[in-house]
Amino acid sequence: MANLFTLTLFISSCSSFRLPSPSRLTLTLHTLTPTSHEETLNHHSIVVNSFPEIVQKAVDDILLVTGEDSWQPSDLLSYPPKEGWKESNEGLSDELLVVLIGDMITEEALPTYQTLLNTFAGCSDPTGSSPTPWSQWSRGWTSEENRHGDLLNRFLFMNPERIDMRSVECTVQHLITSGFDPGADQDPYKGFIYTSFQERATKISHGNVGKLAKKVGAENLSRICAYIAGDEARHEIAYQGFCTEILERDPEGFIVSMGEVMRKGITMPAEMMQDGHNKNLYQEFSSVAQDLGVYTAFDYADIAAHLVRIWNLEKLTGLKGEADKEREFICKLPDRYRKLAERSEKKKEKGRTNVGPKDAKVMEKTFKWIKKRS
């Protein structure tokens, strides 16, 4: 399929970015164990600034050329729409549009995410145009991500018969105003562990929306999702690469940080989504996404397994006490997540079996984003 080919193409172009080998993961940078949060941040700041050449390589090799030579939303959507536009999207279900809108709202809250990046100790852009590698990465990443919300927003705007854009826009404003806290605590270790997970989750979500769109003949939307998923794939490689470098230099600090992140759970960027009316909007959006198979608890488990594998944590040796216990805990998480997902799925199936016609209306979810069909 076209979207899978695009993903493969993007990922292949980033293959020169270094990932860990088992022998390199046992290297240790011996440092004093930090005793306070401030000391931890200072130590972690020193570590993330010990590999500027790696960050610069990510800027040069993973981020695309800016401007004329990079793809732009106008390359994929033109206005007024071409003949057959409306007909090509008629097969999109209300449920799939809900997920697409939720993904678009998440992407449009980009100012919050750049703000978050600039809270990571040692990785900020102090002037707004600093030439440091971390500052270049933050601005370059943001410039690429900015296209995603623009593109999805434009697609939805071009479907006025189905989408209430004012309601969607109000939700975007609410989300940006509400903010977002993934629990990184200004710690770059925790921040990059989070982004390593989240970029992969976003790639999966956009990719699956594209697959579902393709099945109902919405080829243009499928292509749009493939481009966005391709960006997320490249960004995922960069953040996982940054974590690899941290792991080499401070394995115990990295593992303890990862244990803290995984114990808290990965907070989705749109968790505080609301439209001023429905306080359970995010939960209902998330439920629709799971029912469609766009992003599920099984995906969560698979991403955890991927990170354990990509950082070779099962074979990581030389850790002391608490850190080694955390490593064992982290390595067991994917199986635990899968068991929880399977248990949840069985309960859901049982619930569907016991639902009668009178209960069906109670279970319906209403989204102001979607116009009622006449």
| Known binding residues for Fe cation | 107, 145, 148, 199, 232, 235
Angle value at C-alpha 133, between 258 and 10, nearest 5 degrees: 75
Could you give the residue numbers annotated as active site? 71, 107, 145, 148, 199, 202, 231-232, 235
Distance of CA 218 to the CA centre of its chain: 24
Across the chain, which distance is largest between two alpha carbons, in Å?
A: 68
The two structure tokens encoding residue 346: 């069985």
Give the residue ranges of the annotated binding site: 107, 145, 148, 199, 232, 235
DSSP state of 234: H
What does residue 370 show for φ and ψ, rounded to 5 degrees?
-100, 125
CA 25 to CA 244: how far, in whole Å? 8
Grouping H, G, I as helix, E, B as strand and the rest as coil, residue 370 is: strand
Number of Cβ atoms within 10 Å of the Cβ of 255: 25
The two structure tokens encoding residue 165: 């854009």
Identify whether 22 is preceded by a cis peptide bond (ω within 30 of 0). Answer: no
